[in-house]
Structure 1
Amino acid sequence: MSVIKVAILGFGTVGEGVYKTIQSHTEELEGVLGRKVEVAAVLIRNKQKKRNIDEDVLITSDFDEILDLPQLDVIVEAIVDKEPPFTFLKQAIQKGCHVITANKEMFAHHGNELLRLAEKHNVSVGYEATVAGGIPVIQTLRQLLNVNRVRHIQGILNGTSNFILTEMREKKHSFSAALSLAQAKGFAEADPTNDVEGYDAFYKTMILSRIAFGEEPNWEEVGREGITSITSELIESAEKHGLRFKHIASICMEGGQINATVRPALVGKSHPFYSIEGVENAVNVNSDIVGSITLQGPGAGMFPTASAVIEDLVYVCQNQSTNKNYKKTISVNYGDKEGNGDELWFIQGLSKDYKNPLITWIAQSTDDTAVIQTTREEREKLINQQKVTSCFQILGEYEKLGNNKEVTLAVL
């Protein structure tokens, strides 16, 4: 029986998880693929560090040694940064290897080039693990896009930010205390900028945009806002209105163009993201036939991410084209360009006595926060005139506490 030879680049959390999963699921992989899967090599940075890897596996810090192997079918990349991973994967594709990556920053910047190169060399690129960890959102979108036209995608795409917001609400921690706990648990890096400032979610959003719409918005025009401005006081005030803060990425087709944002927003109990807590991720997809579906699950960690890589391993070894539907599609406009209609906003600092015929007061708490209904244009005026100190959009249905009346102005 022939063997599928795999090399793993990087042996951190993801790389080790992939290695262990291949070892523990040998029979399952052989049953699906009809061939045994073996790890032939592992690329590491420090050869002196002891690792639990079989003796017959090449362990090297020189990528050329891996490329020189007499048989190499698949390369799994689980490093960080754009370089050298991008160069490694280009060389692997040119050698005729299928490649799989979990590197969302690199793939957001260079995914198009890798896919074009793979098509030229008749190999496949797997990238399920670049978005939402163990949630099979990319595979789901591939299936949906056979006939369905995606209208709108929203997602909680960063487990670190979600964990911090959950801790701040449940444990009444400050942002800095919740961040320190995330770092202690290994959910956040020593430098957490990519997570808490929204860059990680931004890269994933661009990847999703390409799959759903075949293109992406101008990166410079995407509103990206992190969670560092969210205070314990804001979270407590939102709870009084029955709302929870979530860091949400959103992509939709509006007015004939793709619009995307990554920002904190508020959701009520009827929203599918309301109960997404801790390091969990979730993605809601709205399309013209199936309607609205939500996928949720672990967004990070050794085995959830390894699961996505292993499913990609099966996918590429069956030599299925990963360029499928990765092209400009006929999309249905989700609506008029944002800003033309009334929306719901959670605000802080606006006086109860403030009068404006274009603003409707929906709910007012005992402190200086309130829920209002107005247009995006009026909301911008309030901010520019320094009438409010904080302002966040409410997504989905809003139900006033103690009142069964629901207001729905911002849809999924």
Structure 2
Amino acid sequence: MSAITIGLLGFGTVGKGVYETISKHQGRLQAIFGKEVKVSAILVKNVSKHSVPDDEVLLTDDFQDIIDLPKLDVVIDAIVGREPGYTYLRQAISRGCHVITANKEMFAFHGSELTRLAKENNVSLGFEATVGGGIPIIQTIKQLLNANKIERIEGILNGTSNFILTSMREENLSFEEALKIAQEKGYAEADPKNDIEGYDAFYKAVVLSELVFGKAPAQGKSVREGITDITIEQIRMADSLGLKFKHVASIEREKDTIRCTVKPVLTGEEHPLYRVEGVQNAVSIDADIVGNISLQGPGAGMFPTASAIIEDLIHVGRGDIPSVFEEGRPEGTVIYEPVWIIWGDADKAELPEGCEIISKVSKEVFIFKASLEAVSLLDTSDLKAYQVLGDYAPAAKENKQVQTV
């Protein structure tokens, strides 16, 4: 019986999860494919630091050893960084291999080109694991696009930042205290910049933008803000108003460009992301026919990410991964004036034209309505504005006891 042969790039947390999943679920995979699924080679940085239970698996630090294998059907990319993953996948596609990647940074920058190359070489390109770990975001969006026009996507795409904000609120911790706990639990790296400054979520948002709208967000319409400036006092005040801080990525079409923001926002009880806590990820999708669809689940880790990769492997084996990243998807423009909560002195603040104060919570906290453009003109050295996602009626909250800061 012939086998589906796999070259696995990387043998860290994700790579080991993929290898172990294929080994443990071989019977299930053989029932699906009608043949054995076999990891034939694994690429690592340092061969002396790794071992593989199966002596027949080639363990190497040279990608050329893998690309030169007599039989190679699928290359799975479980490494990080734009390079060398991009170069490796180009070589694999050019050889005629199907490829699957979990490398969000690389794919955010090179997804369109790799998709074009895969189409030219008549091979499949799977990237479910680049966004949301074990949540089937990519496949769900592909299915929706068959009939729906997606108008907006909002998501909590990084479990580390969500864990920190949850811990600050539930445990009454400072940002620094919550970050330390996240590092102790293994949710945050020693250098947590990619997570807490929003880079990780932004790369994932770019992938979704390419998929949904056929192009990356415009640089001038992109905002990436971290959560390091949020204080426990702000979290308490938000809680007293029935709101929660969330680090949310949002993408939507605005005329001929795509607006993408990754920033801390406030969510009310009615918003789909309000109850997403801890290291969970979630995505809220608004489409013109189906309405709102929300997906939630583990966004990272050994087996959730491995699950997404294996799902892609099954789609590859069945030949049902459609082409994506097509320019010119249906246009849709969303124009609205969201509600904002500002920390600052409303009496001294010089608000741009179009900003309407609708409620004063305290001397230094007030609620107002304004367009995104008007808020961008605020003097951010004196004021800090946080958007409230979803429907929010501040008048309904005024009877609730407010904690002053």
- After TM superposition, the score normalised by the length of structure 2 is 0.92
1:271-310 → structure 2 map (5 Å cutoff): 271-310=271-310
Question: Aligned with 1:398: secondary structure?
Answer: coil
Q: What does residue 402 of structure 2 align with?
A: none
Q: How many residues align?
A: 398
Q: CA deviation at 1:335?
A: 2.5
CA contact (8 A) 1:198 1:262 kept: yes
CA contact (8 A) 1:240 1:365 kept: no
CA contact (8 A) 1:115 1:322 kept: no
Q: What does residue 365 of structure 2 align with?
A: 369
Q: Is 1:350 matched up with 2:345? A: yes
Letter in structure 2 aligned against 1:244: K
- Cα distance between partner residues in 1 of 2:213 and 2:41: 37
Q: What does residue 335 of structure 1 align with?
A: 334
Letter in structure 2 aligned against 1:343: P
- Cα distance between partner residues in 2 of 1:205 and 1:87: 23
Question: Aligned with 2:338: secondary structure?
Answer: strand
Q: What does residue 246 of structure 1 align with?
A: 246
Q: CA deviation at 1:399?
A: 4.2
- Cα distance between partner residues in 1 of 2:237 and 2:174: 14
Q: What does residue 235 of structure 1 align with?
A: 235
- Cα distance between partner residues in 1 of 2:378 and 2:62: 57
Equivalent residue for 2:384, pick from 387, 390, 400? 390
- Cα distance between partner residues in 2 of 1:382 and 1:320: 49
- Cα distance between partner residues in 2 of 1:398 and 1:117: 46
Question: Aligned with 1:263: secondary structure?
Answer: strand
Q: What does residue 410 of structure 1 align with?
A: none
Q: CA deviation at 1:321?
A: 4.2
Q: What does residue 115 of structure 2 align with?
A: 115
- Cα distance between partner residues in 1 of 2:263 and 2:117: 34
Q: CA deviation at 1:354?
A: 7.1
Q: What does residue 266 of structure 1 align with?
A: 266
1:162-201 → structure 2 map (5 Å cutoff): 162-201=162-201
Change (3 A) 1:372 1:137: same
Change (3 A) 1:401 1:36: farther
CA contact (8 A) 1:345 1:391 kept: yes
CA contact (8 A) 2:214 2:329 kept: no
Question: Aligned with 1:64: secondary structure?
Answer: helix
Q: What does residue 153 of structure 1 align with?
A: 153
CA contact (8 A) 2:115 2:325 kept: no
- Cα distance between partner residues in 2 of 1:247 and 1:134: 19
- Cα distance between partner residues in 2 of 1:167 and 1:402: 27
CA contact (8 A) 1:77 1:103 kept: yes
Q: Is 1:379 matched up with 2:375? A: yes
1:39-118 → structure 2 map (5 Å cutoff): 39-118=39-118
Question: Aligned with 1:28: secondary structure?
Answer: helix
- After TM superposition, the score normalised by the length of structure 1 is 0.91
1:2-41 → structure 2 map (5 Å cutoff): 2-41=2-41
- Cα distance between partner residues in 2 of 1:10 and 1:314: 20
- Cα distance between partner residues in 2 of 1:381 and 1:90: 43
RMSD (Å), alpha carbons:
2.2
- Cα distance between partner residues in 2 of 1:348 and 1:236: 13
Q: CA deviation at 1:381?
A: 4.4
Structure 1, 366-375 or 213-222: larger mean CA deviation: 366-375
- Cα distance between partner residues in 2 of 1:256 and 1:180: 43
Q: CA deviation at 1:352?
A: 5.9
1:34-56: CA deviations, max 9, x gaps?
Answer: 22111111111221224353222
- Cα distance between partner residues in 1 of 2:105 and 2:342: 33
Which runs of 5 or more residues in structure 2 are unaligned?
Answer: 400-405
Structure 1, 150-159 or 180-189: larger mean CA deviation: 180-189
Letter in structure 2 aligned against 1:24: K
Letter in structure 2 aligned against 1:393: Q
CA contact (8 A) 2:242 2:397 kept: no
Question: Aligned with 1:247: secondary structure?
Answer: strand
Question: Aligned with 2:14: secondary structure?
Answer: helix
1:110-130: CA deviations, max 9, x gaps?
Answer: 111111111121111111000
Change (3 A) 1:346 1:87: same
Q: CA deviation at 1:367?
A: 6.3
- Cα distance between partner residues in 1 of 2:348 and 2:262: 32
- Cα distance between partner residues in 2 of 1:252 and 1:376: 13
Q: Is 1:203 matched up with 2:203? A: yes
CA contact (8 A) 1:242 1:401 kept: no
Letter in structure 1 aligned against 2:5: K
